[in-house]
């Protein structure tokens, strides 16, 4: 189903059959404690799910609601092993595009899209993992061979945006190239995979690999833990999955009662990603969620320069360091160029506190509190 409702609205689809071939659209639906998700049973040998007939709820990009969605595919909660590389580049899985939705405003530099992919339950994943995407066409550097795999962090929980374990969402910025001399766009140098995904239409096929990655998995053994999440741009993708799991879904085995603190750095207000969802969590769960934005083209830091995410970290550095000392997890996701500035800031703050940043970083890594995925 294509997600065509505005970001601020909620759409609910109630399929009459398991395949969802006949649907009725309802604008407002209150969620109760009854289960809206289908029961799924994972068959590890066939890499597929069997589904018991049940009504399902589909929600597009929307604000959070304190009345959570109860999800019930319990087998996804207690698998024996982390799902890893179920499909590889030589034998990818052919999934289907459900929807492509632009999620930035007109004044945002560039275009970012939220892309929902139907994998029919055959490529299960955990929050914080990535899918590989193989765009159609021939690799220009290897005639006759397919394109290389491009990795994208998954921006949904294991249940997907439809809460049935059958979809995954990606947050993709369209990569374009401008000739420095003419200032004009050069389509011949545009990002092959990002443009394929952003141009895709519902029903188009997409070859995916994975899931991959363990570094960004959300530790759930302590449901009162603190999670400090730092992102630039589309690096917010895994955190959207974390936060939906914490605050949107009623997961039987995971009742989050800790602190989730998100720092998001983007160019301007129109560039904010999933802002309505995050603002909804802030309203409904003020004791469990904090949300700080760094808008480089709209805000100034304390020295009068552009406000970057490391400036926000420095602003709250004393509190952040105390939380880390008490066992908080800290995550970094986004462009590789974000890390030097952040590392410099953390080092300077540590030295001001009379600490060795090198020793502290070594301890954070040893304690598995330090999680980094940059590209």
Catalytic residue among 152, 239, 274, 331: 152
> Would you call 153 a catalytic residue per the annotation?
yes
> Would you call 333 a catalytic residue per the annotation?
yes
> Would you call 375 a catalytic residue per the annotation?
yes
> Would you call 185 a catalytic residue per the annotation?
no
CA-closest candidate to residue 370, choices 228, 170, 197, 259: 228
Counting Cβ atoms within 10 Å, is residue 188 exposed (0-12), middle (13-18) or buried (19+)? exposed
Find out whether 190 and 178 touch, Cβ atoms under 8 Å.
no
CA–CA gap between residue 122 and residue 166 (Å, rounded): 8
CA-closest candidate to residue 220, choices 262, 258, 261: 258
Catalytic residue among 58, 171, 198, 333: 333
Find out whether 28 and 11 touch, Cβ atoms under 8 Å.
no
CA–CA gap between residue 235 and residue 244 (Å, rounded): 16
Catalytic residue among 11, 35, 153, 162: 153
Q: What six digits make up the tokens of 340?
A: 């030097």
State the CB neighbour count (10 A cutoff) for residue 82: 12
Q: What residues pair up with 317 in beta bridges, in sequence order?
A: none
Catalytic residues: 152-153, 333, 373, 375
């Amino acid at each position: 189903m294509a997600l065509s409702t505005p970001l601020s609205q909620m759409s609910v689809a109630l399929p009459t059959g398991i395949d969802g071939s006949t649907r009725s659209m309802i604008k407002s639906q209150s969620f109760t404690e009854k289960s809206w998700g289908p029961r799924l049973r994972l068959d590890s040998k066939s890499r597929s799910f069997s589904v018991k007939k049940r009504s399902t709820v589909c929600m597009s990009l929307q604000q959070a609601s304190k009345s959570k969605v109860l999800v019930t595919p319990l087998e996804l909660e207690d698998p024996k092993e982390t799902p890893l590389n179920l499909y590889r580049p030589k034998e990818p899985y052919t999934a289907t595009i459900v929807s492509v939705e632009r999620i930035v405003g007109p004044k945002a530099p560039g275009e970012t899209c939220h892309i929902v992919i139907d994998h029919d339950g055959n490529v299960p994943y955990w929050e914080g993992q990535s899918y590989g995407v193989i765009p159609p066409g021939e690799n220009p550097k290897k005639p006759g061979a397919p394109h290389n795999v491009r990795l994208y962090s998954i921006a949904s929980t294991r249940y997907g945006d439809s809460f049935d374990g059958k979809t995954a969402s990606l947050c993709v910025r369209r990569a374009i190239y401008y000739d420095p001399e003419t200032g004009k766009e050069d389509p011949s140098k545009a990002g092959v995979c990002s443009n394929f995904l952003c141009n895709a239409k519902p029903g188009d096929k997409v070859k995916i690999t994975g899931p991959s990655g363990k570094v960004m998995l959300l530790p759930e053994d302590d449901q009162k833990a603190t999670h400090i999440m730092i992102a630039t741009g589309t690096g917010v993708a895994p955190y959207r999955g974390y936060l939906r799991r914490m605050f949107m879904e009623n997961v039987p085995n995971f009742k989050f009662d800790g602190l989730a603190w998100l720092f998001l750095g983007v160019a301007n207000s129109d560039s904010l990603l999933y802002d309505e969802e995050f603002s909804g969590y802030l309203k409904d769960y003020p004791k469990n969620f904090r949300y700080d934005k760094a808008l480089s083209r709209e805000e100034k830091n304390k020295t009068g320069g552009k406000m970057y995410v490391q400036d926000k970290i420095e602003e709250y550095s004393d509190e952040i360091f105390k939380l880390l000392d008490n066992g908080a997890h800290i995550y970094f996701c986004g462009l590789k160029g974000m890390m030097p500035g952040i590392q410099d800031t953390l080092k300077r703050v540590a030295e001001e506190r009379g600490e060795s940043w090198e020793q502290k970083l070594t301890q954070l890594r040893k304690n598995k509190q330090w999680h980094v995925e940059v590209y």
